[in-house]
Structure 1
Amino acid sequence: MSKKALIITGVGVIIGAMGGYAYYHFIGCASGTCAITSKPLNATLYGGLMGGLLFNTFVPNPKK
């Protein structure tokens, strides 16, 4: 991976992690039975993973 690809994916992970924590904080799971949103760590990690995957789709493919 190029340096530009790593930066774009890293920014996606950070934005996704912030979004995951915000989802936990503002919406969350009142009963505590939700697998992802019942704990802040789970929501933050899941958000970071999804953000990284989403932003990685914007990385241009190398030309051969």
Structure 2
Amino acid sequence: MVPEGQRRSGEACILKTVSTKMIFHRTVLWPLEELHLMQLQTRALAVLMRKGLLMTSAASRK
């Protein structure tokens, strides 16, 4: 059996590391994910616009 105090401090340590990881994830990775999503959206928009331009140019040629 592990003494109660040691177990509590161990749990607190685990909680601390988990919370710091969560904070790190929120502060560092969130903006990166947001940027990634924005890049995907702009890429999709660019593709759609290109297709739209091709379609309109093809339609205007007729």
TM-score range, shorter chain: 0.3 to 0.5
Greater length-normalized contact order (CA 8 Å, ≥ 6 residues apart): 1
TM-score (norm 1): 0.42
TM-score (norm 2): 0.43
Bigger share in helix: 2
